[in-house]
Chains A and B, each alone.
Chain A
Amino acid sequence: MTERILDHPVLGVLEPDQTVTFTFNGMKYEGRCGEPIAAALLAAGIRTLRHHEESGTPRGIYCNIGHCFECRVEVDGHQGVRACLTPVREGMVINGGGALPSPVRDWRKDNA
């Protein structure tokens, strides 16, 4: 799985930072205070941040700099938060969204 780059030949040693604890989909994880949620999760081996609203297929980061919104998650009750831009904080409650109901489409399957 993925891991942190603690010692980099050019950039040097990763300076120790305060550790924070947060939850993602009900599970507890640790991250470096202030790093983006997406980085903290990837360092913990988590690639799938949500499931697509319509198809239910898994999604992770794509652009990692806020342009594409593929990494949108729910943070402390706020929907559509970009995991790549949002610093992880102590006690954060993060949830990846899932498929939403599609009653009209479901109805059409049997009736139209």
Chain B
Amino acid sequence: MRDLIIIGSGPAGLTAAITAAEHGLDILVIDEYLKPGGRLLGQLYEEPGGNWWNGIEESRKLAGRASSLGLDIRLGISVHNIEQIDGSWLVHADCETFETKSLLLATGAAEAPVAIPGWTLPGVMSVGAAQVMTNVHRVKPGQRGVIIGVNVLSSAIAMELKIADVEVAAIALPKTNQVNGKAANPSEVMNALLHVSHMAPSPLVKMGSKLMTNDFMKRMGITLYPKNGVRMWDIPVMLRKAVIRIEGTDQVEGVTLATVTAEGKIIPGTEEVIGCDFVCIAGGLYPLAELAALTGCPFYHIDELGGFVPLHSEDMRTPLDGLYVAGNITGIEGAKVAMSQGKTAALAIAKDHGQDIADTSLSEAVRQISSTRSDAHIQFHSEVEAGRRKLQEYWEQHAAGMRNVMV
């Protein structure tokens, strides 16, 4: 039996593995991907100050440190069930079943799809798929693409495609449907974009800062927004056009766009077809928490964190003995936050294994999560801190409830 199994070798899982190994724990890391690094692998952006955040390089550093510590990392292994029996965790993988005292779930995030007519055609992929193809496998997803969904992730990846000399014909909204709500509403999307104005190109910010001072001006802003979009890194960002259909017989040949009102309603007669050979759907990220759901761990839906998250404390403990979480399974944030969560989780686990971890070093690690969050270059949700506070309140309520039961 292992001391600790970590599921997921992304920034959270690898950092946790390194920290726990430094404290003498016997660890196994499992990941179903063929390389360590998780979604850190695909990341590539310029930080303020001109340094490039190169996910492949960062992953290599983490994996290098892990291997110098002699960590056992097994790739290409899928976990399909976990259960707790007699105080230990059984991890059922496709090849065998592993047993461990402690289990850390660092499974990351998944991308929410947006159903649009034609979306099953070959050539339609999630925006993350295009990122991985381009930056990790170095294969162009196509010659000319259209990105559906205007958000932080899609803007960042549009830029990455451009760097790799892949043409992005447009970034446009999805057609409004019963589930996509805000993501198809031009005014709401504009608000969200202005929050990440440090990433957006100057024309959008200039226009936005003038127009976003009050609700009336916001409506005016989106009403006056150029129909053919504002160019961001020379890519038209169309907040007044939505993709209503993906065209093609055997594979993607183009998309049909239509002009929409400030509320996202299609204006009849404005349809136009533009040609492309691939389409990226950017529906946003949500915590990939299925394995935690198998354990009976309580869940809460918190919009600011991207969806349902397993209940956990600031030091990454869940209410279940020996079960911990770190990274995007706890809420959608950047890789650096995931790393600091991984470190914190490892310290909590080492402490629970009787290692000499000072309370101050654990609380310092928790503080570092917050400061990493404040310094983050990319923020997926403007109110992420409020989301974290909400979850902390649920945790305190849960802990108080447990105390009452004990009494």
**What residues of chain A have their CB less than 8 Å away from a CB belonging to chain B?**
1-6, 8-11, 14, 34-36, 39, 42-43, 47-49, 52, 57-68, 70, 84-87
Contacts and interface: CB of A to CB of B under 8 A. Distances in A.
Of all A-B residue pairs in the complex, the 7 with the closest CB atoms, nearest first, are A60-B122, A64-B129, A47-B122, A39-B137, A5-B138, A43-B139, A48-B122
A36 B56 CA distance: 16
B140 A2 contact: yes
Contacts of B126: 62-64, 68
Contacts of B140: 2-5
Interface of B: 32-34, 39, 44, 52, 54, 56, 76, 78, 110-111, 113, 120-126, 128-130, 132-135, 137-143, 163-165, 250-251, 277, 288
B129 A65 contact: yes
Which of A1, A35, A42 has the most B CB atoms < 10 Å from its CB? A42
A87 B75 CA distance: 11
A19 B315 CA distance: 46
Contacts of B143: 1-2
9 contacts: A2-B142, A2-B143, A4-B140, A5-B139, A9-B163, A42-B139, A62-B125, A70-B120, A86-B34
B202 to A, nearest CB: 22
Contacts of A62: 113, 124-126, 129
A63 B250 contact: no
Nearest to B131: A64
A43 B138 CA distance: 9
Given A63-B125, A65-B128, A87-B34, A10 B139 contact: no
B132 A8 contact: no
Contacts of B132: 64-65
Contact of A10 (B32, B44, B125, B277): B44
A11 B133 contact: no
Given A10-B54, A47-B251, A48-B250, A63 B110 contact: yes
B139 A39 contact: yes
B164 to A, nearest CB: 5
Contact of A11 (B56, B111, B129): B56
A48 B121 CA distance: 9
Contacts of A61: 125, 129, 133
B182 to A, nearest CB: 22
A85 B141 contact: no
A4 to B, nearest CB: 6
A4 B123 contact: no
A36 to B, nearest CB: 7
A36 B139 CA distance: 11
